[in-house]
Amino acid sequence: MTVRINGTEHGRAPRPGQCLRTFLREEGCFGVKKGCDTGDCGACTVHVDGEPVHSCVYPAFRAQGKRVTTIEGLAPADGLHPVQQSFLDAQGFQCGFCTAGLIMTTAALDEAQRADLPRSLKGSLCRCTGYRAVADAINGVRTVEDPEAGAAIGAGLGAPAGPQIVTGTARYTFDVAMPGMLHLKVLRSPHAHARITSIDASGALAVPGVRAVLTHEDAPAKFFSTARHENPSEDPADTRVLDDVVRFIGQRVAAVVADTEGAAEEGCRLLRVAYDVLPSVVDPEEALLPGAPLLHGGDSNAIGRLDAELGSVADGYAEAAVVYEQTFRTARVQHASLETHGAIGWLDADGRLTLRSSTQTPFLTRRALADLYDLPLDRVRVLTGRVGGGFGGKQEMLVEDLVALAVRATGLPVKHEYTRAEQFTSATTRHPFTVRMKAGARSDGVLTALELRVVSDTGAYGNHGPSVMFHGCHESISVYRCANKKVDAYAVYTNTVPAGAFRGYGLGQVSFAVESVLDELARMLGMDPVLLRERNVVLPGEDMTAPGSHADDLTIASYGLDQCLTAIRDASHEPLPEPAPEGWLVGEGMAMAMIAAGPPGGHFADATLTLLADGRYEIAVGTSEFGNGSTTVHAQIAADVLGTRPDRIVIRQSDTDVVAHDTGAFASTGVVVAGQAVLAAARSLRADILAKTGAVTLGVDTAVQADGSALHLRDVPGPISAQGHWTGSPRSVAFNAQWFRIAVDPGTGELRILRSVHSADAGRVMNPLQCRGQVEGGVAQALGSALTERMVLDGGTGEVRTTGFRQYHLPAYADVPHTEVVFARTEDTIGPLGAKSMSESPYNPVAPAIANALRDATGVRFTDPPFTRDRIWLGLQNDHKGQPMT
Amino acid sequence: MDLHTVVEVVSPARPGQWRRGDAWLGGGTALFGEPQPGVTRLLDLAASGWTPITIRDEGLEIAATCTVADVNRFAGAPGFTAFHGLAAACCHAFLASFKIWNVATVGGNLCAALPAGPMIALTAALDGECLILGPADPGDGPPGKIPADPGDGDGGLVERRVRVVDFVTGDGSTVLRDGEMLRSVTLPRASLTGLTAYRQGSLFTHGRSAALLAGRLTQAGEFVLTVTAATVRPYQLRFPELPDERHLLDELEAAIPGDAWTDDVHGLPAWRAHLTRTFAAEIRRELAA
């Protein structure tokens, strides 16, 4: 019996235990995505006999004799389904990985369901957008703009990949068919800390289809860091591809490579591993104590340390009218990009090691692989497809090293794709921070002392630990003028899943404490919290100071913080649009944040612009695209410089073959660094074309001579190419502020957001539609950290207990309020065409703004997010008026 | 997700076919939603062709393979006010979306036996009785007593009936023994009329139930309160007439032992107990009005 897919009979029978999702993908329907594989996220939604189902939990054999429609078959070949068109019109996506599922879901909604989207979309998770753009798409709101030639900057241009995303034809990491491809599965450690004494692979090797078993004996002896930075020495080299010591439950023990996933899994089950269990420690404070088990030798588990003081906080307290001290703990949260980690590796026709990976850093990963396997750089190529979300999680080399080992061992193509459970147990997380903070202020609100003790849990490996700790303790503090500042900070190894880069890179955790404490100081002084900020924030021309040695290339090259704070004050002065339910407690709160537009120590980008034979232009740039929208802005920059329309620009990107170097799409650099390189290349190309043709200006498709005659660009003898480069230094700063009015039901602990306003200083806003989307998505992700998301680890072993979206609650449509976004009007003197960064920063002020609103509404200072209803209710029971609730 | 260890599907499967390594397959949304490394064969019940909902003299018979969508759209018996008062609400109590309802079954929800299982709440509240079919020699004896291949006939089958409130024995556990399967749930006619009230609490709007309570006032004036989600198994309190609030809360306190409150990531036990008391009082007031 056949399965009729998009009108065509498919005769191949599914495997007995196969789900419909993988069957459809094997039949070429790559638009059907794996987000969770457990029926929770909806990325795999298809229609079976006209009814929408989650194909990951639909037995494939049952589709025999039925009609299946996927995103590829929703519309006739020559057009778009109305829902596809509306997702394009509203740009109802960022990375786009969930989009096919959302479109298939929307297309199946009846009128009543459309009228109740919070309920109807509970099985449709989007990690990027915060759902406003999704709502606009479903409600038929058109927000995208079609700018005139030369006017793309500042317009709401749609993403170049939009048509592919809404039709399911955008190709993500695993959306390629590769004949003869092997599958790699990993046996993971059941112990928090153990030495592997033996691995018996005979049973695994006897499984039909198993090609290789890889253990620490096959791995290079070299140590490296999974973290990726331009300067590799920033991150501790403490990791091996496969180690003979495991340091957390979930760490790689061995890999099995086989013809099928099933055989590889069976091989893993049949590996016999003997362990010598070692003492372990999962609490970072205990890990700092003398006598604690040392994870990586040396004399301490502190892998990062900052102990410095500016002025004297003791003097500051003596001068203070009010002093407040409190301890705050941020939860361990996960990036939860809907595309999991993974890579496909092979040797190309020339024998060159090639990796197609879900990464934010193809160039740095190539360099790391070359180092690891002693290969010249030109013998390694790393590229990406479209990447299904990053949020910092893919600024790591978590799979490529192992795939490379397997490719080299077998000589064949190998795929390693994380399961959703592995994302939680064996990728990286945000660093959980404990921040003890004490601060003082004079009666006029001027800060006299800021003192922080910071303990960051980096887990079993150091990767981004020290850098996150340093960054966390910089802009969060240096945004305030205060003569006396002290920081005592530790990044600590524990036998838990490693933490890594995460949107905000430490700032959110420390800002949570700083902004909460400033709120309390304002309360103690009876002062408006906005006014207290205004009395203390750093001003243009002033130094941004924080204890310790920090890079000195940071400068305020545009200043919109005053406008951000004014927007917050204006919002709080506006009357309540609708009253809160009777008996509910109402309050409001704000917080603010500053972030450097790029990392210290250099962040490099190369771009090449080429006039193609057909008269269009090609941008070659290293930046990968995962919904950050950099690609759109690059096209806008090039189009305006070249006097043309964005549809005349084609882009090749995110491939170590296309340009010399690109540090990567992290630290909010897609616009301010890679965009700068594109701008330089475009200007250079324009000059070259004018010089070569004698024209005085460029028009759409033409070079225009002084006499007004036009030469079509395809008639310009070519090719003409120009290069652009940017070093990422000096750096400016961006600002954000968030304000909430909330209501709390004291009977149940339910928190309802009545109004949400976010103000942002992004410099010149290159694409208001996209930039607004970045802010909305950042707010939504932060609301997850503040209200819903928490990884639960076993207190004794560190084993991750929350291994799926049913236990780990990503904000769904119903959880995210509409946020009003207000942009400051500034023009940066460093960033390209006046722009600044805006991708991580909206995340940072959200959690403390919620905590401050909760304090205002309930009288209780909540210190440990997430603030779920049970914990809010419990806090109210204990009647901790003005006291902490932990 | 793919269940790679499965090498065979029996579709449709019949009661009595179970052998070690088999899993009964309803809609599949639970079974395919997590790794099942011990399962080598699927016994597909969804293809059995059982009528989803049958109106009988004794009440409503809901097949184990009846989908949640079938329950939600069932409009066949307008006199069954208690059923209609609770059915749609319990469907909406699913964390899972309407897309899952098209596939997930009532039987699957009962057999998964999660505290938050809303079909457990619905059928328990309506005094449902499970019809269980199994081999004559049930599998809780020594493994050796299970025939390697019991054959494909219906011979030697034994049926037993267990109330839904007793069917679920804990978080993820039921009275089912190896080889047994749930065939149907019958809701007695006397429990299908009268008034109902319902309350659901969750950490999140439209989230997984942390407390799911259903109250029912029969035409004879009896009050039945069913507590699920907040507790690891359903608890049911019956009163000959609507009690006053103090009496209700006292009985609740006495009925549910302290260690029965669900303690997992979906809500703190103390909060679930508080919601249960609040909801019980609200339900009582609503039905008294």
Residues A793, A824 share a domain: yes
Categorize the per-residue pLDDT at B150 as very low, low, confident or very high, splitting at 50, 70 and 90. Answer: very low
**What residue spans of A74-121 are helical by DSSP H?**
82-89, 99-106, 111-114, 117-120
In a domain, A97, yes or no: yes
Give me A472's structure tokens: 């966390």
Contact of A867 with chain B, judged by CB distance below 8 Å, is answered with: no
Q: CA-CA distance, A56 to A775, in Å (whole number)?
A: 31
Residue A549 pLDDT more than 90? no
Residue A333 three-state SS: coil
Judged by CB atoms closer than 8 Å, whether chains meet at B103 and A19 is answered as: no
Q: Is B33 on the interface with A (CB under 8 A)?
A: yes
**Cβ within 8 Å of residue B210, ≥6 positions away:** A870, B116, B201, B202, B203, B229, B230, B262, B266, B267, B271, B272, B275
Structural domain includes residue A858: yes
For chain B, the maximum distance between any two Cα atoms, rounded to a whole number of angstroms, is 59
Distance from C-alpha of A527 to C-alpha of A801, rounded to nearest angstrom: 43
Mean pLDDT of A181-194: 98
A871 lies within 8 A of chain B by CB:
yes
Q: What is the pLDDT of residue A659?
A: 95
Q: Across residues A758-763, what is the average pLDDT?
A: 98
Please list, in sequence order, all residues whose beta carbon lies within 8 angstroms of the beta carbon of residue B144, skipping any fewer than 6 positions away. none
- Across the A:B interface, residue pairs with CB atoms under 8 Å apart total 160
Convert B166-201 to b/e letters by CB count within 10 Å (16 or more is b): ebbeeeeebebebbbbbbbbbbebbbbbbbbbbbbb
Mean pLDDT, to the nearest integer, of A631-658? Answer: 97
The SS3 of residue A352 is coil
Write down the pLDDT at residue B151. 46
Beta bridge partners of A196: A275
Relative to beta strand A182-188, strand A252-258 is antiparallel
Omega cis (within 30) before B118: no
A494-531 tens-digit pLDDT: 999 999 999 999 999 999 999 999 999 999 999 999 99
How far is C-alpha A253 from the chain's CA centre? 27
User: What's the pLDDT tens digit per position in A550-596?
Assistant: 888 999 999 999 999 999 999 999 987 778 999 999 999 999 999 99
Question: Nearest CA to CA, how far is B138 from chain A (Å)?
Answer: 27
Do A472 and A588 fall into the same domain?
Answer: yes
Residue A63 and residue A27: Cα distance in Å, rounded?
Answer: 13
Mean pLDDT, residues A444-463 taken together: 98
CB contact under 8 A, A53 and B102: yes
pLDDT tens digits, A266-315: 999 999 999 999 999 999 999 999 999 999 999 999 999 999 999 999 99
| Contact check, Cβ <8 Å, A53/B99 | yes
Q: Give the burial string for A251-287 (b: 16+ CB within 10 Å, else e).
A: bbbbbbbbbbbbbbbbbbebbebebeebebbbbbeeb
CB proximity list for A501: less than 8 A, separation 6 or greater: A227, A392, A393, A395, A396, A428, A463, A464, A468, A666
Q: What is the pLDDT of residues A642-653, one digit of tens each?
A: 999 999 999 999
Assigned domain for A212 exists: yes
In B92-111, the residues whose Cβ lies within 8 Å of chain A are: 92, 95-100, 102-103
Distance (Å, whole) CA A133 – CA A320: 47
Structure tokens at B9: 């599907």
Record the tokens describing residue B182, joined without a space: 């749930």
Q: Is A830 part of a structural domain of the chain? A: yes
Q: Do residues A752 and A737 both lie within one domain?
A: yes
Put simply, the answer to whether B4 touches A809 (Cβ < 8 Å) is no
Q: What is the mean pLDDT of chain A?
A: 97
Among candidate residues A671, A703, A726, the one where a domain is terminated: A726
Cβ(A14)–Cβ(A23) under 8 Å?
yes
Q: Is A843 on the interface with B (CB under 8 A)?
A: no
Q: Each residue of A27-80: pLDDT tens digit? A: 999 999 999 999 999 999 999 999 999 999 999 999 999 999 999 999 988 899
Written as six digits, the tokens of A77 are 């070949």
CA dihedral B271, B275, B277, B278 (to 10 degrees): 130
> Which amino acid, residue A281?
V
pLDDT score at A884: 56
pLDDT score for B155: 55
CATH code of the domain containing A866: 3.30.365.10
Report the Cα–Cα distance between both ends of chain A, in Å, rounded.
59
CA distance A262 to chain B (A): 5
Chain B CB within 8 Å of residue A747 CB: yes
Among A264, A262, A268, A259, CA closest to A181? A259
Residue A702 and residue A760 in one domain: no
Average pLDDT value for residue range A537-560: 95
* Judgement on whether residues A536 and A683 belong to the same structural domain of the protein: no
A692 falls in which pLDDT band (50, 70, 90)?
Answer: very high
> Which domain-ending residue is among A702, A726, A750?
A726
* Contact status of B62 with chain A (Cβ, < 8 Å): no
- A-interface mutation test, from B41, B44, B99, B279, most A Cβ less than 10 A away: B99
For residue B149, pLDDT over 60 is answered with no
Chain B touched by A66 (CB under 8 Å):
no
Q: At B56, which helix (H) or strand (E)?
A: strand B53-56
Q: Where is the domain boundary, A696, A726, A756?
A: A726
Lowest mean pLDDT among A90-99, A872-881, B22-31, B225-234: A872-881
Residue A296 lies in a domain: no
Q: Which helix (H) or strand (E) holds A167?
A: helix A162-167
Say yes or no: B238 contacts chain A, CB-CB below 8 A: no
Work out the average pLDDT over B161-172.
Answer: 98
pLDDT by residue (tens digit) across A598-630?
Answer: 999 889 999 999 999 999 999 999 999 999 999
Nearest to A98 by CA among A35, A51, A56: A35
> Which of A37, A869, A876, A877 best tests the B interface by mutation, with the highest count of B CBs <10 A?
A869
Res. A89: pLDDT tops 70: yes
For chain B, say whether A581 makes contact (Cβ under 8 Å).
no
Q: Which domains does chain B have, with CATH numbers?
A: 48-190 (3.30.465.10), 194-289 (3.30.390.50)
In this predicted structure, the answer to whether residue A882 has a pLDDT above a threshold of 90 is no
Residue A506 domain flag: yes
State whether A708 and A770 are in the same domain: no
Pairwise CB contact (< 8 Å): B265 & A790: yes
DSSP B185-249: EEEEGGGSSSEEEEEEEESSTT--EEEEEEEEE-TT--EEEEEESSBSS-EEEEESSPPPHHHHH
Q: Are A631 and A585 found together in one domain?
A: no
Task: Write down the pLDDT at residue A602.
Answer: 87
Interatomic CA distance for residues A382 and A403, integer angstroms: 12
Angle at CA of residue A864, ends A858 and A870, nearest 5°: 60
Confidence of residue A883 (pLDDT cuts 50, 70, 90): low
Cα–Cα dist B18/B20, whole Å = 7
Q: Are residues A665 and A569 in the same domain?
A: no
Q: How open is the CA angle A392-A396-A397, to the nearest 5 degrees?
A: 155
pLDDT at A225 over 50: yes
B243-281: b or e for each residue (b if 16 or more CB lie within 10 Å)? Answer: beeeebbebbeeebeeebbbebbbbbbebbbbbbbbbbb
User: For A245-266, how does the pLDDT look when each residue is reduced to its tens digit (9 = 90+)?
Assistant: 999 999 999 999 999 999 999 9
- Indicate whether B142 pLDDT > 50: no
Inter-chain contact B33–A38, Cβ cutoff 8 Å? yes
Residue A773: pLDDT band (50, 70, 90) is: very high
For the residues A453-473, what does the mean pLDDT come to?
A: 98
Closest in A15, A16, A118 to B206, CB measured: A118
**Same domain membership, residue A500 and residue A535:** yes
Q: How many CA atoms lie within 13 A of A356 on its CB side?
A: 19
Same domain, A692 and A742: no
Q: What are phi and psi of A537, to 5 degrees?
A: -70, 150
pLDDT of residue B147: 40
CATH of residue A372: 3.90.1170.50
Residue A62, sorted as left (phi over 0), alpha (psi -120 to 50) or beta, turns out to be: alpha
Residue A305 resides in a domain: no
Count how many domains chain A has. Answer: 4
Cis peptide before A719 (omega within 30 of 0): yes
The pLDDT value recorded for residue A719 is: 87
Q: What is the mean pLDDT of residues B143-153?
A: 42
- The verdict on A10 and A105 lying in the same domain is yes
Q: Which of B143, B93, B98 is nearest to B118 (CA)?
A: B93
Helix (H, G, I), strand (E, B), or coil: what is residue A192? coil
Residues facing residue B264 across a β-bridge: B267
pLDDT digits (tens, 9 = 90+) for A387-443: 999 999 999 999 999 999 999 999 999 999 999 999 999 999 999 999 999 999 999
Question: What does the buried/exposed string (b/e) look like for A336-348 if buried means 16 or more CB atoms within 10 Å of the residue's CB?
Answer: bbbbbbbbbbbbe
pLDDT tens track for A785-808: 999 999 999 999 999 999 999 999
Residue A834 and residue A768 share a domain? yes
Domain hosting residue A662, numbered range:
605-726
Distance (Å) from the C-alpha of residue B240 to the closest C-alpha of chain A?
29
Cβ within 8 Å of A, B 9-28:
9, 11, 25, 28
Q: Distances in Å between the alpha carbon of A190 and those of A21, A49, A253, A416, A800?
A: 30, 43, 9, 21, 11
B22/B25 Cα distance (integer angstroms)? 9
Mean pLDDT of A91-107: 98
A325 located within any domain: no
Mean pLDDT for A165-192 is 97
Q: Which of residues 125 through 184 in chain B touch A, CB cutoff 8 A?
A: none
In tens, the pLDDT along B241-255 reads 999 999 999 999 999
Q: Which residues pair with A184 in a beta bridge?
A: A257
